[in-house]
Structure 1
Amino acid sequence: MSFCWNEINSGIKSLILILCIFSLMTLSLWDDVATKFLHAAGIISALYFLVTPKKTITNNPTLLIFISLCLLGIVNIIWYSHYKISGSVYTNAYRGPMETGKIALCSAFIFLVLFAKNEMRTKIKFGKLILFASLATQLLFFAHAMWQHFYLNVDRVALSASHATTAGYIILFPSLLASILILKSDLRHKTTLYTINFMLSLCAVIVTETRAAILVFPFFALILIIMDSYINKRINYKLYYFITIALLAGVFSFKDTLLMRMNDLNNDLVNYSHDNTRTSVGARLAMYEVGLKTYSPIGQSLEKRAEKIHELEEKEPRLSGALPYVDSHLHNDLIDTLSTRGIPGVVLTILAFSAILIYALRTAKEPYILILLFSLLVVGLSDVILFSKPVPTAVFITIILLCAYFKAQSDQCLLEK
């Protein structure tokens, strides 16, 4: 009976992991399908939990992650249900947090089930499977991005997303995942693989013209090398050399695109210094200000927020750059959450990712997970990441698979003893 249960347990967890891998690999071509795979994995995980609650919860190191993500998802869905009215002009903006809430709930159950104390007894080497799936995903990102940019003559590549900015973030997090997995793997020629992945990912990010992603990816790719050198107490000079060459080659190959975006940034800052916020950067800074000035501690509807923003703009016309965005979001995760779901939403968001941070350091003992968390934090300062479906799917699926990779490697070691 015990043997039968172990087989069923491993089979269900294997299915959940495979669905997560499919979610990662479909991000480039069909981001909506990627979300559906994540939902399916979450539903199976929830059913598994309902059948075996005691076995799943007992000594589970991800219990805090589960609770915080569940609360975050529930608050988002309650907010949507309470404030959304039929025929609202802000329907799409309401759906963003609601979709994120569903993804958070699914991710909560996936964490709870996949990272329970009992190891997976399976012949499938999921560590290697996650690694190769990640590398294949990077090839898909690069091929799709280059096809759109050069063959279809698309200036700002959007992949399968509705906006190029979204595509930039969809590429960013799996690219960092692949970088971490390459360094942690036992593959030969890791230096060459890391350099190739860096080059392909950088080119794919550049053609989306997403400034935050263009800056964040090479920065954290370099931080990752420094971290790896420190942990292993060995400096790979060849990797530093190759990455420098790859960075210069990528910048040179798309120098016109990069120069145009840098000139736009400079012009935006000059306009902002003259109280003109009707630019990309100026509008963001105006949105941050109006978000902090119009928030409600316990949350509010988008209609109420828009009303407050219009009233504020009449008193302070320099904030007019924020007006075109009142029907979407305020381009900063915490400020946008504060202006809609109030202080509870902000607290639960911080708690959820703090729980993942604690798991990374105390249980998994893998500081590499911090690369994903800190990149999420940095990008979240200039845009809304936890909104709608594609980017939250990319964020949670990369974190889940990175944690799953480390657990799979640990379980494999236990089985081989």
Structure 2
Amino acid sequence: MEKIKLRLYQLAMILSLISLMLTLVSSGKQREFFYIAIYASIIGLALEYKSLTLRPFTIAYPILLIGLVNLVWYMIYEYQSEGLNIYSDYLGASKKLILASILVFYIDRFKSYIEKATFQRYFLFASAIGFMLATGYGLWQASQGMARVEMAINRATVSAYVYSVLSLAFVYSLYLQQNVKLYVVAGLTILLSYFVILLTGTRAAMGLYLLLAIVLTLYHFRKIHLKSTLIFFCIVAGIVIVSYKPLIAPKIAQTQTEVEKYQKGIDRTSLGARFSMWTVGIQNGLAHPLGQSLENREKWTRDYIKNGHPHLATALVYIKVHLHNELIEKFSLQGIPGLAVLLFFFVSIIAYALSNKNGLLLATMLLLLLYGLTDVILLSSEALIFFMVLFALSPPFSQTKNR
């Protein structure tokens, strides 16, 4: 029986690693391996029922909580008009979160089945393959003349978010090997990743990736050698100089133009639409502190814009999808309860990462939080599965002793 338990745990781990590798090259296969890993973890938990405990804290709890809140909200506000058979982003996300919490709980609780160093080598191998496949795919798309590379997700922004986190996961696993040659590989990975991110044309990733790479490096090493730092920044400067005119300057000019237009009351731009969505989202939340349905949000927003706020009209284009801000989206539909649970999700996992000295989990959560200020990651199927798999694989990276 013990051998069967061990094999089930190894199976769940391997399937999760394969799902991670395939995120940016095959969304369908990524999803399939994710669900099979969950089935394996359910069987594993059934066999381990005698040794299950709720303590200590695991990041599976806030994941489960946010999934349950989504489900409860859906059953209260949407089920009456749609039923369970109609596609809903929130219903789909709630099911993925609840199931993912099982996988996270299983891998976290029984991580003693595999040695930490062994697992970290497996993760290094998987993240390296995933990174190389995604990078090769992105560069190939660029060579074919694609204006914004999007890899397999077919949405350049979401691809950039996932790619940046996958890159930093690979970089962190290289750091843990404590090998000078691999440190050089990590530096080159950061530079290549930034170039690919520039090709996605995603401003949030362009602005945050290098910053989080620096934070992760400082967090891991605690100190940086001056010579290595100077070489790194010189190479970064070279990439920025070469890429500035064709890739960076247009985005800066676009941002300035969109801000100026919004100040003149024109919101039919990428940034202008976001500003309008955030404004009406906050107003929706204030008007419905206990939540409301998607249909009611749209109706209330139409009335709000009609009655004295015509400069926010572009918000109606996206109101049926989401409001491009994780916190405001929650507040506008689930009110104060939904916002409080989402904040608990972010704060508790970041605190867990800090207390357990888990650099991979910390960097992942910080990017999820920061990207969530301009988009809604937890409703995107591919991104949600990717982050949940990465959460499941992160506990063995804690630098504190197992309790």
Is the Cα–Cα contact under 8 Å of residues 138 and 196 in structure 2 kept in the other structure? yes
Aligned mates of 2:365, 2:111 — CA distance in 1:
26
Query: Match of 1:24, as an amino acid?
Result: L
Deviation at 1:174, TM superposition (A): 0.9
Q: TM-score by structure 2 length?
A: 0.90
Helix, strand or coil for the counterpart of 1:115?
helix
Shift in alpha-carbon separation, 1:387–1:293, aligned structure 2, 3 A = same
Matched, 1:259 2:273: no
Residues 253/39 of structure 1: CA separation in 2 closer, same or farther (3 Å cut): farther
Alignment of 1:175-190 (within 5 A): 175-190=167-182
Match of 1:74 in 2: 68
Say if 2:308 is the partner of 1:318.
Answer: no
Q: Determine if the alignment matches structure 1 residue 352 to structure 2 residue 345.
A: yes
Change (3 A) 1:248 1:95: farther
1:73-123 CA deviation, whole Å, 9 max, x = no partner?
A: 1222343344447997xx99x622223222221221122111116611579
TM-score (norm 1): 0.87
Taking the aligned partners of 1:24 and 1:238, their CA distance within structure 2 comes to 34
Partner amino acid, structure 1, of 2:338: G
Task: Give 1:54-65 correspondences, 5 Å limit.
Answer: 54-57=50-53, 59-62=55-58, 65=59
**Take 2:270 and 2:130, find their aligned partners in 1: how far apart are those partners?**
31
2:235 to 246, 268, 282: 246
Please show how residues 337-348 of structure 1 align to structure 2 within 5 Å. Answer: 337-348=330-341
* Contact map agreement 1:42 1:105 (CA 8 A) in 2: no
Following TM superposition, by how much is the alpha carbon of 1:133 offset from its aligned partner in structure 2, in angstroms? 1.2
What does residue 291 of structure 2 align with? 299
Partner of 1:227: 219
Question: Which SS does the other structure have where 2:162 is aligned?
Answer: helix
Give the deviation of 1:57 after TM superposition.
1.9
Counterpart-to-counterpart distance in 1, 2:330 and 2:111: 36
Residue 36 of structure 1 is matched in structure 2 by 32
Q: Distance in 1 between matches of 2:263 and 2:190?
A: 36
Structure-2 residue corresponding to 1:165: 157
Q: Distance in 2 between matches of 1:118 and 1:323?
A: 47
| Change over 3 Å in CA distance of 1:288–1:99 after alignment to 2 | same
Contact 2:276-2:313 within 8 A present in 1 as well:
yes
2: distance between equivalents of 1:54 and 1:386? Answer: 33
Instruction: Supply the AA of the counterpart residue of 2:22.
Output: T
Per the alignment, do residues 15 and 288 of structure 1 end up closer, same or farther by CA in structure 2, a change over 3 Å counting? same
Among 373, 385, 393, which residue is 2:365 paired with? 373
Cα distance change of structure 1 residues 205 and 339 upon mapping to structure 2, 3 Å threshold: same
Of all paired residues, the percent bearing the same amino acid is 25
Question: Where do 5+ consecutive residues of structure 2 fail to align?
Answer: none
Match of residue 262 from structure 2: 272
Q: Which residue of 2 aligns with 1:335?
A: 328
* Distance in 1 separating the partners of 2:111 and 2:185: 33
**Does the 8 Å CA contact 1:127/1:406 hold for their aligned counterparts?**
no
Distance 2:332 2:114 in 1: 47
Give the Cα–Cα distance (whole angstroms) in 1 for the partners of residues 81 and 219 of structure 2.
51
Is the Cα contact below 8 Å between 1:172 and 1:217 reproduced in 2? yes
Q: Structure 1 residue 204 and structure 2 residue 196: aligned? A: yes
Number of corresponding residues: 397
Stretches of structure 1 lacking an aligned partner (at least 5 in a row): none
Corresponding residue number in structure 2 for 1:120: 113
Q: Secondary structure in 2 aligned to 1:189?
A: helix
Q: Which residue of 1 aligns with 2:141?
A: 148
What is the alpha-carbon distance in structure 2 between the residues aligned to residue 21 and residue 117 of structure 1?
A: 17
CA RMSD of aligned residues (A): 2.6
Quote the offset at 1:367 in angstroms. Answer: 4.7
User: Which 4+ residue blocks in structure 1 deviate beyond 6 angstroms?
Assistant: 85-88
Amino acid at match of 1:319: L
Q: What is the alpha-carbon distance in structure 1 between the residues aligned to residue 46 and residue 66 of structure 2?
A: 20
Asked whether the 8 Å contact 1:202–1:214 carries over to 2, the reply is yes
Equivalence for 2:226: 237
Query: Of residues 272, 282, 293 in structure 2, which corresponds to 1:282?
Result: 272
- Measured after TM superposition, the shift of residue 124 of structure 1 is 9.4
> Is residue 13 of structure 1 aligned with residue 9 of structure 2?
yes
